[in-house]
Amino acid sequence: MQKSILITGGAGFIGSHVIRRFVNNYPGYTIVNADNLTYAGNLENLKDIETAPNYIFRKTDITDKESVMALFNDFSFDGVIHLAAESHVDRSITSPDEFIYTNIIGTVNLLNAFRSSAPGVTGKKLFYHISTDEVYGSLGRSGLFTEETPYDPKSPYSASKASSDHMVRAFGNTFGFHWIISNCSNNYGPNQFPEKLIPLTINNIKTNRQIPVYGRGENVRDWLYVEDHAAAIDLIFHNGVPGETYNIGGDNEWKNIDLVTLLCRIMDEKLGRDKGTSEKLITFVTDRAGHDLRYAIDCRKLKRDLGWKPSVNFREGLTRTVEWYLANNEWLERIVSGEYTQYYQQQYTRKS
Ligand code: NAD
Ligand code: DAU
């Protein structure tokens, strides 16, 4: 089937895996990647598919209304998968404004352009918004987030994502077009920017630097391999019910300190270091402000209704991830030698 699909944020971590999957699996689709190439966007992530005949890159800042309108005028999109966002919680604490512009205003610009190109539900064009479990706030020691859990965001990042979710539902309801939202737990895997816990830990072990663990490392996250998220997005885009929300998670909860310790062991094996070498780098630092204690997802709806399940076991996924970072040293070096160095100093000098 011939289709033209807009994927925003395709040069980022998750977006690049989604683009690769769609370009390779759907040769009949034209995939347009609209990304502004912020510090987190990297076209190197897409080197293997950049010359594919069904792939187009268009540098676009979604906060710029005119550029977004021009994009929709130049292509007749059959569907949108919206991933572009400011995504790092710590950055949202030091400079929240970008999160408001990109995550809220950027989403509204896309919704406005989409509704002028997709009038009425009969058009069957879908606006699929990729969101996070953080919109639900923080869990105590027990319980799971379901699709009915009330929104209770606690950081500028999660509040901006919650706001964009509300905008998608409100625009869909008011202007009568098809929309879907999915809320996913923590992703990990190749191409993740090394400001996030797992690639930061891998990089610090590799370079013999302290591993900063916030507080006592008691916070819990539910981890999902990025390709399993991309597979869920593919399934939901094609088979999801318009007007529905789907939670996506790995059924894989880890305390940060246990996860970091496991990573240390895998890294020691891979680097041929003595057992226990990397664990000595673990350093407890000042906690993240307003740090959510625990996220955990109930994704039974997605499993039951659409037949999805995670395919990559955590130890295997972490090993693959470590191997990718060790084999792609140049990718990492180029990132850590740029804006990242300044960010790292600001973020971690204060904390240690
Ligand atoms: P990322 O930070 O790696 O990538 C974000 C991408 O968006 C980058 O390519 C960046 O250049 C682009 N972008 C940022 N501002 C833009 C703008 N104004 N205009 C156009 N493009 C812009 O993020 P990620 O981790 O891949 O997350 C992707 C999406 O998935 C986000 O919406 C995030 O909220 C959501 N999400 C992420 C996770 C996770 O664990 N990483 C989990 C659940 C949901
Ligand atoms: O839950 C989904 C969310 O997961 C996504 O919406 C976000 O875009 C994504 O960044 C991620 O948010 P987290 O804040 O959970 O991820 P991060 O990797 O920043 O941190 C994971 C945990 O590790 C968290 O409890 C904070 C802690 N941490 C993080 C860093 C960067 C540390 O202890 N030390 C660190 O240096």
Give 19-74 pLDDT, tens digit per residue: 999 999 999 999 999 999 999 999 999 999 999 999 999 999 999 999 999 999 99
CATH classification at residue 39: 3.40.50.720
Q: What is the DSSP letter of 101?
A: I
Q: Is the CB of 62 under 6 A from ligand 1?
A: yes
134: annotated active-site residue: yes
pLDDT 10s digits, 79-110: 999 999 999 999 999 999 999 999 999 999 99
How does residue 350 score in pLDDT terms, banded at 50, 70 and 90? low
How does residue 352 score in pLDDT terms, banded at 50, 70 and 90? low
Cα–ligand 2 centroid distance for 117 (angstroms): 36
In the chain, where does DSSP find H-type helix? 13-25, 65-74, 89-94, 97-99, 107-117, 156-175, 197-206, 226-239, 256-271, 300-306, 314-327, 329-336, 339-349
pLDDT 10s digits, 111-166: 999 999 876 655 689 999 999 999 999 999 999 999 999 999 999 999 999 999 99
Q: Is the CB of 85 under 6 A from ligand 1?
A: yes
- For 122, counting Cβ atoms within 10 Å of its Cβ (0-12 exposed, 13-18 middle, 19+ buried), the class is exposed
In this structure, is residue 297 part of a structural domain? no
- Number of folded domains in the chain? 2
Instruction: Catalogue the long-range contacts made by 232-236 (C-beta closer than 8 Å, 24 or more residues apart).
Output: 232/182, 232/184, 232/302, 232/308, 233/18, 233/81, 233/128, 233/130, 233/182, 234/18, 234/21, 234/22, 234/25, 235/302, 235/306, 235/307, 235/308, 236/128, 236/180, 236/182, 236/302, 236/306
- What mean pLDDT, rounded, does the chain reach? 96
Cα–ligand 2 centroid distance for 79 (angstroms): 30
In this structure, is residue 300 part of a structural domain? no
Distance CA(181)–CA(349), nearest Å, equals 38
Residue 208 confidence (pLDDT) above 60: yes
pLDDT over 90 for what percent of the chain? 93
Report the nearest atom of ligand 1 relative to the CA of 60.
20
* pLDDT at residue number 105: 98
In this structure, is residue 301 part of a structural domain? no
Q: Which of 35, 61, 134, 228 is catalytic?
A: 134
Q: Which of 35, 133, 165, 195 is catalytic?
A: 133
For ligand 1, mutation pick of 44, 87, 105 (most atoms within 8 Å of CB): 87
Q: Is the CB of 106 under 6 A from ligand 1?
A: yes
β pairing state of 3-8 and 79-82: parallel
Angle at alpha carbon of residue 97, lines to 217 and 19, rounded to 5°: 75
**Rg (the chain; Cα; Å):** 20
Cα–ligand 1 centroid distance for 307 (angstroms): 26
In this structure, is residue 275 part of a structural domain? yes
Report the nearest atom of ligand 2 relative to the CA of 291.
25
Residue 243, Cβ neighbours under 10 Å: how many? 13
- 165 and 278 inside one domain: no
Nearest-CA neighbor of 213 among 223, 226, 198, 194?
Answer: 198
Please state whether 86 falls in left (phi above 0), alpha (psi between -120 and 50) or beta: beta
Q: Is the CB of 63 under 6 A from ligand 1?
A: yes
Distance CA(301)–CA(56), nearest Å, equals 34
Q: Is the CB of 163 under 6 A from ligand 2?
A: no
pLDDT 10s digits, 57-68: 999 999 999 999
* pLDDT at residue number 297: 97
Collapsing DSSP to helix, strand or coil, 54 comes out as: coil
For ligand 2, mutation pick of 129, 132, 197, 321 (most atoms within 8 Å of CB): 197
Ligand 2, atom 16: closest residue by C-alpha: 196
What is the model's pTM?
Answer: 0.98
pLDDT 10s digits, 240-279: 999 999 999 999 999 999 999 999 999 999 999 999 999 9
Q: Is the CB of 249 under 6 A from ligand 1?
A: no
Compute the average pLDDT of residues 205-220. Answer: 98
- 279 and 170 inside one domain: no
In this structure, is residue 203 part of a structural domain? yes
pLDDT 10s digits, 266-325: 999 999 999 999 999 999 999 999 999 999 999 999 999 999 999 999 999 999 999 999
In this structure, is residue 113 part of a structural domain? yes
* pLDDT at residue number 338: 83
157: annotated active-site residue: yes
In this structure, is residue 27 part of a structural domain? yes
Q: Is the CB of 214 under 6 A from ligand 2?
A: yes
* More reliable by pLDDT, 117 or 207: 207
Q: Is the CB of 130 under 6 A from ligand 1?
A: yes
CATH classification at residue 214: 3.90.25.10
- 128 and 182 inside one domain: yes
- 94 and 214 inside one domain: no
Residue 36's domain comprises: 3-188+224-248
